Structures are given as structure tokens and as C-alpha cells.
Amino acid sequence: MTPAKWVRIWRERLPEVPLDLVAVSAAEAQDALRRGDADAGLVRLPVDRTDLSAIPLYTETTVVVIPKDHVIGAVDEVSADDLADEIVFHPLDDTLDWERPPGRPAFERPATTADAVELVAANVGLLVVPQSLARLHHRRDLTYRPVTGVPQSRVALSWPEERTTDRVEDFIGIVRGRTVNSTRGRRPAAGAEEPKAKRAAGGSGAGGTQRRGGGGQQAGKTPRRGSGTTQGARRGRPRRRS
């Protein structure tokens, strides 16, 4: 995933609290949250709701990664049936919930998506993945096309339910599009000490969020205005005696 927009908004609203990105695999993301290595993460559904909260965000397009000179590159999109005669890799870290992967299976499953991309570049076969992974492993000699009739990956923002801090609420507010004036997408009150923040992880080989530090702010006191007013005395003119 590419959370650049949310990170930019965070830095505009909370410039005193650093927000860093950490890339982790889909398989590692939920455990990173449970261990406390992360405050929040962009993960792929499903999420175990026993101890993690999650807000579904969007559904990713599924694409087939191909060499640039492959015949599929001549069309805008393909169906699963169009891949029937192609060798399609199904890596062990695959993030799609296949009932039956399309195409002809390779002799051996690659260990990782990155390994499968290398095999595609060597013209050994093709690879079907969420679009963000095709972008993550982009190469000049490869391209991709959308695939219809196949599973899609849903992305969510997740965090440990027992550690729903004010800072996590701030990030939830940004992701959900709340304005800076929203009561649930708020800036810290003046004078409040900000807790130290940990790291946040992003699933599926994508950037998530990591937070560290954050000092408190001191509020300046506004002088109180007096309620009294000063009146100037009037001098009377002496009366002339006759």
C-alpha cells in the first residue's frame, strides 16, 4: 500500500510528532501489532478480531505481471480464462484467497513474490497479484494488466484494541477523512503531554506508519483584562461674581 496522502496530512496537523513508515510482509503485519512493535498498520483482510480492531478501507485490483513483449500487453485487461494456457506462479507468500489459481501450475512454487517476479522476468511464466505488489516489484522489463474473475484483496487499517491511544485515534481520523476540527480527529489540547509513540507496520510488503517521540506543548497565559474603566475628572469653570 502507499499511504503517502495520510502521512502528508499527519505531518501538516501534527508536525511535532514524527510519523515513520515500516515495510513488512502481509504474514508479519498482525504479529507486529500484537507484539507492540507497531501502533497501527495497513493490513490485508481477514483480521483476527479477538485482539485487533480493523477498519476496511478499499479493495485492490488484481493484476497479472507479464514481460513487456508478452501478447497480453496488447489488451487493456484479461480474464482468468485467458490465462488457462499460461504457466502462472503461486508463491508461498501469496495474499489472494484462491479456490483454484488460474493457468497451469509451475513445477515448483516460488518461496516469495519477489522470487516469482524474477521468474516472470526470465520468461518462465506469469504472476497474478494485487496491484500494489506489482508496483512494489516494478521492473523496466515488466508490466501488468488487470484480471477479471479472480479474487481481490481487501485492505484495512488495524491496531491492537487494548492500545487505542489518542494518537491512534488521530491517525484513524485522518484515514477516515475527518477534518482537523472534528472531535475524533483532533489536535492535542494545549499543555497536554504527548506520550511516546512506537512504530506502526504496513502489511503486504507496503509502507505502514511508525511513530516516535512527541514532546508536550506549553500554553501561554493570556493576561486578564480589567473590568474597570478610568474616567477623566471634569473641571468646572469658575463663576464670575457680579
Q: How far is CA 193 from CA 108, 123, 182, 200, 213, in A?
A: 55, 57, 20, 21, 11
Please identify, in words, the CATH class of the domain defined by 62-148. Answer: alpha beta
Which residues lie across from 202 on neighbouring strands? 23, 42
Report the predicted TM-score, pTM, of the whole model to 2 decimal places: 0.70
Helix axes 4-13, 166-175, angle to 10 degrees: 130
Q: What is the pLDDT of residue 87?
A: 97
Do 4-57+155-211 and 62-148 come out as alike in CATH topology? yes
**Rounded (10°) CA dihedral 116, 121, 123, 124:** -20
- Please provide the distance, in angstroms rounded to a whole number, between the alpha carbons at the two ends of the chain: 101
Confidence check: pLDDT of 217 > 80: no
Per DSSP, the residues of 126-171 read: EEEEEHHHHHHT--TTEEEEEEESS---EEEEEEEGGG--HHHHHH
Min mean pLDDT across 38-42, 111-115, 237-241 is at 237-241
Could you name the CATH architecture of 4-57+155-211?
3-Layer(aba) Sandwich (3.40)
Question: In sequence order, which residues have a C-beta less than 8 Å from that of residue 7 and are 6 or more positions away?
Answer: 19, 21, 209
Q: What is the pLDDT of residue 62?
A: 97
Q: How many angstroms separate the CA atoms of 65 and 158, rounded?
A: 28
Give the three cell numbers for residue 122: 526470465
Higher pLDDT pick, 23 / 169: 169
Per-residue pLDDT band for 202 (boundaries 50, 70, 90) equals low
Kindly report, residue by residue over 81-122, the tens digit of the pLDDT: 999 999 999 999 999 989 899 999 999 999 999 999 999 999
What pLDDT score was predicted for residue 26? 84
pLDDT for 1: 67
Where do the domains of the chain lie?
4-57+155-211, 62-148
> Above pLDDT 70, what percent of the chain?
74
What single letter denotes the amino acid at residue 17?
V
